[in-house]
Amino acid sequence: MSMTAPPAPAPISNDPGRAWRIARPLAGIAVFGSLALLFGGVDVGVFALRVVLLVGLVVLAAALLQGKTRKFFSGPAAYMATFSLFVLVVLAIFATEISPQNPYDLRQLSIMDGRLPPGSTTFDGSMTFHLGTDEQGRDILSGILYGLRISLSVSIIATLIAMLIGVVVGIYAAWAGGRIEAVLMRIVDFQLSFPSILVALMLMAAFGRGLDKIVIALIIVQWAYYARTVRGTALSETRKEYIDAARGLGLPSWRIIFRHLLPNCVPPLIVISTVQVANTIVLESSLSFLGVGVPITQPSLGLLIANGYGYMLSGQYWMSMYPGLALLAIVASINLVGDRLRDTLNPRLTR
Amino acid sequence: MSILDVRDLQTHFFTDAGVVKAVDGVSFSLSAGEVLGLVGESGSGKSVTGFSILRLVDAPGRVVGGQINFKGQDLAKLSDREMRALRGNRIAMIFQDPMMTLNPVLRIETQMVEAVRAHDRVSHKAARDRAISALAKVGIPSPTERLAAYPHQFSGGMRQRVAIAIALLNGPDLIVADEPTTALDVTIQSQILAEVQQLARETGTALIWITHDLAVVAGLADNISVMYAGRIVESGPTDAVLTAPAHPYTQGLLGSIPGHGRRGERLTQIPGMAPNMARLPDGCAFAPRCARVSDTCRSSAPEITTFDGRRSLRCFHPLVPMTSSA
Amino acid sequence: MLVFLLRRLAQSVFVLIAMMIVVFFGVYMIGNPIDILISPDATPAEIAETMTRFGFDEPAYMQFLKFVGNALQGDLGRSFVHGESAVTLILSYMPATLELAALGLFFSVAIGVPLGVYAGYKADRWQGRAIMTGSIFGFSLPNFWVGMLLILIFAVELRWLPSTGRGETVEVLGMRLSIFSENGLKYMILPALTLALYKASLVTRLARAGTQEALMQDYVKFARAKGVSETRILLVHVLKNIMIPIITVLGLELGSMIAFAVVTETVFAWPGMGKLLIDSILTLDRPVIVAYLMMTVIIFIFINFTVDVIYTLLDPRVRVKGEAS
């Protein structure tokens, strides 16, 4: 099966900037290609694809930080967050390989193993449930690993698509100006004046449960953030004289947009999207907790917590506690990394 | 008897680009009721000297050496608490920009009463009365009503008067005024100068007047110290320094004042730019801009020499004969 | 000032109309309420009769016009489930949510402002960094999980506070409130803390940024030159300056607090309008959903308006500009 070339270590050259310029697009292609294939449901070379995905992500992250690592790693929190984010991403990507059990496969579950405390073994002693089981006899650890994957992929996909829409709308508004801009920004303001949880809740109520539906809902609630940010950055850029000069020279609009406007929007976008992925994970888990999120058959971390909630008061804490800790770990790592990124890339952002 | 005696003051700024010796061995003394003009270009360390006396240098700056003897005690050795008891009480300060020194969201009354009550355990009423009389002293009309106002309801000149009134509240022995008239209109500038001079004379308060403008201190100061690149290069009685400057830099400053030389004469300018404080040359810091520079100036820095009994100088090539050096 | 108020009012009306359209057609898409209104084995005739009775057989735009007409008279329909007027229903659940949000807001200021001011004062020291890292955790903790944890610790393990539900209520100004009774307050503490956590982190960050900026200002240095104590500088000079942006932001966040109460109320079985909304969504009780959204919009508009007024009162500079115009 042919696939994109893995981003081999960049050729040794005297100019590290050049090596990164080659490595970055390769890594990008590797990430998108492997993601597309994985979600497309291929069943050949899945493990290799996951390795490609992980390597691609690491190269992208390294490319982002090249030359700024010292500023980024300015304290113990930055190291810890980066390390824990890396571990959690690896766990999510290789959940299938690592998990002791496939929690989606009902044949592997036995109701006899239901609600066992951490450290128990199966009825026949063939497997140990390190973090206990839920009411259906699902291994909590496996549930967490699979749930982590669901939570991460739902929010990353939603964030990326929302970002794409936001960039298009924001650039278009800034470029077009006039009435188009006014109308678009009114819509953005209108949407942003309502708390995202409320909008998402109503959308999910209308759509019903489902992975695709929650992704759509999460896109709808966040595209406006990006549109506003991109428009702001693009606007301050279009006011600069060289853009007028470029327009005066008759350079095609797409060239000005792609060469000048877009690159300036990238640092704030990276920072916002990092934080947004974390927010989106929380939002998704809240919706799932409320019973309008992911389907019961594919529980995210939020749904796992909700499932265990009923048993919490009777002292069977593990069903909710451990998924909650996993959720906290992933969200906190992303937020801490995002916080460091904000300081490192230093786009003119508040909050 | 000297009220303030600064000996070899060193204030350094520890920046990423290296250590900046903003104040590098400054010494001067001041007796009660005396007005000292501390003159220099921006970046010469004159403001940092003023802030060092009150121990209000912001990070990354720090007073790293020297003594600041105020009425017999070394301020550099006081605890934060003891220092705070002196600030605004025995030593007051007036800042450069009156638009920024008053807190925009607090009434004048609050800002004045707290200055009194930080040092005297008096009633709010008594503190308020003192504030009213201080405002009246600096020429603010209907002070009782104005107390209730917010800073933005005053003009720049009026705000600086309020700041001066705050400095006067506790009858300090010393006021450090950091370019207090620079941000004001010329007419208001001279009014305030005259008033401050009168107040200092009446109350016997010693005054350090920091400025970049020799003309401002000409009619005000008893003595002048000229600072360049963190050091005092020349000091002495105002008349003597202004009529017969000994340091080429002082002469340069005088030459750039309009109306000082004869009519029709061109204004002279000191060539070159203010030095980069992070990378000062070896030898005399003024050497790169000096017309009388020699090889000695470039290799070694001149020491302080005293002459005429009351004047001192840091230069190898003085403009006046250094007679009767005691 | 008057012009300003009128313009704001016009904007609000516009938002309200836009919301009506969005809400109505949005909610119109939610499920088929007929399914829960009558038993599954009803005859087609019965179904048709019910459809007519509730007006479901009419085209969407007709239903909308009727809805607008009724809404203008303060009638947002009758709850399918409770059989009561939806507005009355929401209004009877509203005090519980409002007092929860108010206490949550109070907690977030009481926790966030001191932490933020201290973090700003010690910005380059470990204390400041620790608080900032901590605030990131505050941002990251999922609301519902915090609630569960608090229940586990304070209700199940320590048995200091009740776990779920609402305690005693006292009738104040025609509203049933529990904030004024000791028993009721005990029930409120955990949910209000849960609700406050996220905002407390936000306030901490705002207060820190504001403090750092204020400390660099000349007026702080001048206050120091006056001999004013550091405590007074922080508590009077800095605090008064940073409270203006904080109150503005918090006011605007009160709306999202009410919205987020949906989650908290579910965790704590708190009988507020958030819980009512979730229950209505799960039972497809359209009129209640619509009424909730419309009431929330009105609350938001009211809050934004109030924030502007408070802002004007707090900042003497704005106030004078207002007087001059």
What's at A280, amino acid-wise? T
Domain boundary at C72, C104, C121, which?
Answer: C72
Evaluate whether chains B and C are touching (3 or more beta carbon pairs less than 8 Å apart).
yes
Residues in contact with B47: Cβ distance below 8 Å, sequence separation at least 6, in sequence order: B96, B178, B179, B210
Residues in contact with A217: Cβ distance below 8 Å, sequence separation at least 6, in sequence order: A200, A203, A204, A207, A287
What are the pLDDT digits (tens) for A256-280?
A: 777 777 877 788 888 888 888 999 9
How big is the CA angle at A139 (ends A138 and A141), to the nearest 5 degrees? 140
Residues in contact with C144: Cβ distance below 8 Å, sequence separation at least 6, in sequence order: A285, A286, A289, A302, A305, A306, C263, C264, C266, C267
What's at B324, amino acid-wise? S
Per the structure, the complete domain to which residue C157 belongs is given by 88-324
Q: Report how many domains make up chain C.
A: 2
Q: Is B184 on the interface with C (CB under 8 A)?
A: no
pLDDT of residue C36: 59
pLDDT for residue A133 is more than 50 = yes
pLDDT for residue A9 is more than 50 = no
Residues in contact with B218: Cβ distance below 8 Å, sequence separation at least 6, in sequence order: B238, B242
Highest mean pLDDT among A27-31, B5-9, B56-60, C292-296: B5-9
This prediction's pTM: 0.80
Q: Which of B58, B71, B90 is nearest to B167 (CA)?
A: B90
Residues C312, C182 share a domain: yes
Q: Give A161's pLDDT tier (boundaries 50, 70, 90).
A: very high
H/E segment holding residue A22? helix A16-40
Residue of B nearest to C240 (CA): B105
Query: What are the beta bridge partners of residue B235?
Result: B225, B312
- What's the whole-number mean pLDDT along residues B215-241? 88
Q: Give B310's pLDDT tier (boundaries 50, 70, 90).
A: confident
pLDDT of residue C48: 76
Residues in contact with B232: Cβ distance below 8 Å, sequence separation at least 6, in sequence order: B26, B27, B28, B225, B226, B304, B312, B314
Q: Is residue C191 part of a domain?
A: yes
Q: What is the DSSP letter of B288?
A: G
pLDDT for residue A1 is more than 60 = no
From C30, C267, C282, residue closest to A206, measured CB to CB: C30
Residues C174, C50 share a domain: no
C-alpha A301: how far from chain center: 14
Q: Is C140 on the interface with A (CB under 8 A)?
A: yes
Residues C67, C168 share a domain: no
How big is the CA angle at C285 (ends C19 and C100), to the nearest 5 degrees? 70
- Contact criterion met (CB < 8 Å) for C316 and B95: no
Q: Is B120 on the interface with C (CB under 8 A)?
A: no
What are the pLDDT digits (tens) for A208-236?
A: 888 888 999 999 999 998 998 888 888 87
Residues C92, C59 share a domain: no
Residues C96, C136 share a domain: yes
Question: Which pairing describes strands A120-121 and A128-129: parallel, antiparallel, or unpaired?
Answer: antiparallel
Q: Which of A182, A158, A162, A160 is nearest to A172 (CA)?
A: A182
**Exposure class string for C1-22: b at 16+ Cβ within 10 A, else e:** eeeeeeeeeeebeebeeebbeb
From C137, C262, C282, residue closest to A197, measured CB to CB: C262
pLDDT of residue C323: 43
Q: Give A8's pLDDT tier (boundaries 50, 70, 90).
A: very low
- How far away is chain C from the Cα of A212, in angstroms, using its nearest Cα? 17
- How far away is chain B from the Cα of C92, in angstroms, using its nearest Cα? 41
Q: Is B226 on the interface with C (CB under 8 A)?
A: no
Torsion C133-C138-C142-C146 (CA) sign: positive
Q: What whole-number distance in Å separates Cα of residue C310 and Cα of residue C288?
A: 32
Residue of B nearest to C124 (CA): B59
pLDDT for residue A349 is more than 50 = no
Q: What whole-number distance in Å separates Cα of residue A31 and Cα of residue C269?
A: 44
For residue C112, the domain's CATH number is: 1.10.3720.10
Q: Which of C245, C254, C296 is nearest to C104 (CA)?
A: C254
pLDDT of residue C325: 35
Residues C269, C121 share a domain: yes
What are the phi and psi torsion angles at A99 (to 5°)?
-60, 140
Residue B202 or A17, more confident: B202
pLDDT for residue B54 is more than 60 = yes
Share above pLDDT 90 across residues of chain B, in percent, rounded to a whole number: 16
Share above pLDDT 70 across residues of chain A, in percent, rounded to a whole number: 87
Domain boundary at C43, C72, C101, which?
Answer: C72
Residues in contact with B86: Cβ distance below 8 Å, sequence separation at least 6, in sequence order: B70, B75, B78, C227
In this structure, of A9-13, A76-80, B123-127, the range with the lowest mean pLDDT score is A9-13
Residues C151, C63 share a domain: no
What are the phi and psi torsion angles at A117 (to 5°)?
-70, 165
- Contact criterion met (CB < 8 Å) for B114 and C228: yes
**What stretches in chain C show pLDDT beneath 70?**
1-2, 4-5, 28-40, 54-56, 174, 311-325
pLDDT of residue B113: 92
Q: Is residue C128 part of a domain?
A: yes
Residues C290, C201 share a domain: yes
Distance set, CA B124 to CA A236, B109, B110, C236 (Å): 51, 10, 10, 16
Q: Is B127 on the interface with C (CB under 8 A)?
A: no
Query: What are the beta bridge partners of residue A139?
Result: A133
Residues C67, C96 share a domain: no
Residues C176, C67 share a domain: no
Q: What whole-number distance in Å separates Cα of residue C117 and Cα of residue C239?
A: 8
Highest mean pLDDT among A26-35, A139-148, B273-282, C79-88: A139-148
Residues C265, C186 share a domain: yes
pLDDT of residue C322: 42
**Exposure class string for B234-269: b at 16+ Cβ within 10 A, else e:** bbbbbebbbeebbbbbbbbbbbbbeeeeeeeeeeee
- Contact criterion met (CB < 8 Å) for A289 and C266: yes
Q: Is residue C217 part of a domain?
A: yes
pLDDT of residue C170: 73
Q: Is C125 on the interface with B (CB under 8 A)?
A: no
Residues in contact with B179: Cβ distance below 8 Å, sequence separation at least 6, in sequence order: B47, B96, B210, B211, B212
Q: Is residue C80 part of a domain?
A: no
Judge contact between A203 and C25, C-beta under 8 A: no
pLDDT of residue A16: 63
pLDDT of residue C11: 76
In this structure, of A137-146, A185-194, B274-283, C219-228, the range with the lowest mean pLDDT score is B274-283
- Domains located in chain B, CATH noted: 2-90+170-249 (3.40.50.300)
- How far away is chain C from the Cα of B198, in angstroms, using its nearest Cα? 22
Question: Which pairing describes strands B174-178 and B206-211: parallel, antiparallel, or unpaired?
Answer: parallel
Highest mean pLDDT among A32-41, A265-274, B170-179, C247-256: B170-179
Q: Is residue C257 part of a domain?
A: yes
pLDDT of residue A333: 92
Q: Which of C277, C113, C131, C261 is nearest to C193 (CA)?
A: C261
Residues in contact with A257: Cβ distance below 8 Å, sequence separation at least 6, in sequence order: A171, A175
Judge contact between A301 and A140, C-beta under 8 A: no
A-facing residues of C in 59-118 (CB < 8 A) are none
Judge contact between A252 and A246, C-beta under 8 A: no
pLDDT of residue C161: 80
pLDDT for residue A36 is more than 50 = yes
Q: Is A348 on the interface with C (CB under 8 A)?
A: no
Residue of A nearest to C257 (CA): A195
What are the pLDDT digits (tens) for A81-117?
A: 889 999 988 888 888 877 777 777 766 766 666 667 7
Tokens of A301: 């971390």
Q: Which of C102, C57, C72 is nearest to C199 (CA)?
A: C102
What are the pLDDT digits (tens) for A292-332?
A: 888 887 888 888 888 888 787 777 778 888 888 999 999 99
pLDDT of residue A125: 67
ipTM of the complex: 0.86
Residues C96, C67 share a domain: no
- Domains located in chain A, CATH noted: 154-345 (1.10.3720.10)
Distance set, CA B166 to CA A284, B163, B251, C218 (Å): 58, 5, 36, 15
What are the pLDDT digits (tens) for B141-159?
A: 888 988 999 888 888 888 8
Q: Give B326's pLDDT tier (boundaries 50, 70, 90).
A: very low
Query: What are the beta bridge partners of residue B99?
Result: none
